[in-house]
Chain A
Amino acid sequence: MITAHKGEYVEIKRVILEPANRSSNVPDDTRRLPYVARIGGFLLEEEAAVGTTVTILTPAERVIQGQLLAVNPPYAHHFGAPVPELLTIGMELKSRLEKTGGEG
């Protein structure tokens, strides 16, 4: 069981709208899902387990309640891998410009 301690940076989850209460203006694949927010902040309880209801102090210094999702979750986005379909574009274009002498 993962637990968080007071003052640690955590992420909580709040269900803002249950499926039945959502806008009528959304397609079917979306309407059967709850509308959910994740918010980061500092845990106010002494200790809490992931999955339990907790309170956090946000960077805007507001107190918000929600379900504890993760402790100090990493930023997982990255640069990805070099893309073969892009890798040769630079050489292709440079060789074209060399042929025209760089002047159109």
Chain B
Amino acid sequence: MADLSYAAVMARQAQIIKNAGGPDYDQFEFGKVGFDYEGMMASTGYTLEQVREIQLAGKTGNTPLLELTKLTALVRSISAPGKGARIFVKDEAANASGSFKARRASLVVYEARKRGYPGVIAGTSGNYGAAVASQAAMQGLKCIILQEVYDSRGFGQPEILEKSRACEAYGAEVWKLTVGPELFYINLLLLEQTGYFNASLYTPYSILGIETLGYEIGSECLARFGRGPDAVVITHAGGGNVTGTARGLLKAGCNTTRIIGASVDLRGLHMASDRDFNRKSFTTGHTGFGVPFLVNPDRTDVPRNAARALRYLDRYVTVSQGEVFYATEALAKLEGLERGPAGNTSLAAALALAREMDRDALLVVQETEYTGAGKHPTAQLTFARSQGIEIRRGDPRENIPGQNIVIPREPEQLHVEEVDLDRIRRSYLKNVLQRNSVRPADLTPEDLIYLAQEVKKDQAWVEEVLGNG
């Protein structure tokens, strides 16, 4: 009888992940800290064209790229002369389960079925749960979804309650968990006990599935406008959305498109705190995931995370919860598109970013998500108010996560706050050395090339940072 204690199960992680369909991650390791990222991605054996075919069979992909002419006009009316980019949105709510996550899930579930696994397991607080459940339903596999849903009082945010319901609607066995990182533990334990496939968000399959999203944006812009987008704004949490979209844009030939990550600012709230759990109105797409996953992408449920956003980001900004609700309202009232707030994080950022850009520039917001009971500003703000959060119109710069939600008074007040990517890159490098107990002098030449790629800088920059560390 296997030891089921927390420590014992966590110690069996490598073997459990291997049995659950993961690649043999050891084969990609080199030097003291490096690993062959592109080799790992290529090891899946799928071409982009094959992924597109699998996704279309899975009722996913080829979503419309919609021009938001009213929002563009609004932005231009508050911009300096000659400024105010054309804003487009990729309507990912049109995918099978109502979000871009269907792209990630489709390839993962397809692979699980191809290899003869009876079912799939995923631990997620996002739309990915419903996406895996939906794809498992259509491909005839069993599905278990683990979600962090309740605080110790049994209260859950409406958004997460809706995401649980959706998983059940698609036929999944759903484990609705209280607050804590032990989701990893129960995930491993269930993989071990069921022999199901690990449908982790962070396998190469999951990231390859998002490449089609960037590819579709890039190739449609090239066909319609004769050039790629000037910038794509991508909601950033665990890094998959940024990584996959950026890789897809590159595969479409859009080498100069700026990759901008956007997260909801929840700084100051502890993600594993029972008390703080219901003091936030966003369950994903926020800094509580966004920043730690940049500093250490491998802090996840697989040995090597295929989502490595620091390799692709040109810029990283935050917006406040109130600004996202404002953008959601503007999208419904001016563009006639009612979509879920979490998917509008990048839209809120885009409304501010477009003001800095020239009028002929193309700015693409790369996702929307479905909306419904729970996943709606009225639901989320009603709940926030019941949790003692102050809600008012005002200057979004007065935003204090967990205390208030400030809805802008005027569109001019929509703004982004810059996250210093160089500071995050330095933290990343420091963290890599610490975790591996390695000194800069121990690094091999291949390690240095790898680290430069990891932080999207040249080797001289990396060596200087390490030398000063």
Contacts and interface: CB of A to CB of B under 8 A. Distances in A.
Chain B binds chain A: yes
B158 A78 contact: yes
Given A60-B143, A75-B165, A94-B333, A29 B275 contact: yes
A35 B220 CA distance: 47
Interface residues of B, number: 67
B175 interface: yes
B76 A104 contact: yes
A60 B142 contact: yes
Contact of A22 (B75, B182, B326): B182
Interface string B281-294: 00000000000000
Of A77, A82, A97, the most chain B CB neighbours within 10 A belong to: A77
Interface in B112-152: 119, 142-144, 149-150, 152
Contacts of A76: 161
B72 A104 contact: yes
Contacts, number: 167
A21 B182 CA distance: 10
B182 A59 contact: no
Given A23-B181, A29-B275, A90-B332, A37 B143 contact: no
B210 to A, nearest CB: 26
B6 A22 contact: yes
A1 interface: no
B331 to A, nearest CB: 10
B5 interface: yes
B250 interface: no
Nearest to B169: A75
B300 to A, nearest CB: 14
Interface string B1-32: 00001100000000000000000000000000
Interface in A47-90: 58-62, 75-83, 85-86, 89-90
B378 A86 contact: yes
B283 to A, nearest CB: 13
A80 B158 contact: yes
B176 interface: yes
Given A39-B173, A80-B382, A86-B377, A16 B150 contact: no
B334 to A, nearest CB: 6
A26 B180 contact: yes
Contact of A83 (B161, B334, B382): B382
B180 to A, nearest CB: 5
Contacts of A29: 273-275
A89 B330 contact: yes
A92 to B, nearest CB: 8
A46 interface: no
A78 B272 contact: no
B74 A97 contact: yes
Contacts of B5: 21
B379 A89 contact: no
A61 B383 CA distance: 34
B142 A33 contact: no
A41 B168 CA distance: 10
B329 A89 contact: yes
Given A37-B175, A80-B380, A27 B6 contact: no
A80 B182 contact: no
A61 B142 contact: yes
B77 A23 contact: no
A38 interface: yes
Contacts of A35: 177-178, 180, 182
A75 B373 CA distance: 10
A81 B386 CA distance: 12
Contact of B334 (A41, A75, A81, A97): A97
Contact of B378 (A33, A61, A81): A81
Interface in A5-33: 16-17, 21-23, 25-27, 29-30, 33
29 contacts: A22-B180, A23-B181, A34-B178, A37-B175, A37-B177, A37-B186, A38-B150, A40-B173, A58-B173, A60-B144, A60-B173, A77-B156, A77-B161, A77-B374, A77-B379, A78-B379, A79-B373, A80-B382, A80-B383, A83-B378, A86-B326, A89-B407, A90-B330, A93-B330, A94-B334, A97-B73, A97-B74, A103-B73, A103-B76
Given A37-B186, A38-B176, A60-B119, 10 more contacts: A16-B177, A22-B6, A29-B274, A30-B273, A38-B150, A60-B142, A60-B173, A61-B142, A79-B374, A79-B378
Interface of B: 5-6, 70, 72-77, 79, 84, 119, 142-144, 149-150, 152, 156, 158, 161-162, 165, 168, 171-182, 185-186, 194, 270, 272-275, 325-326, 329-330, 332-334, 359, 373-374, 376-383, 391-393, 407, 411
List the 3 closest A-B pairs by CB distance, nearest first: A104-B76, A80-B382, A90-B333
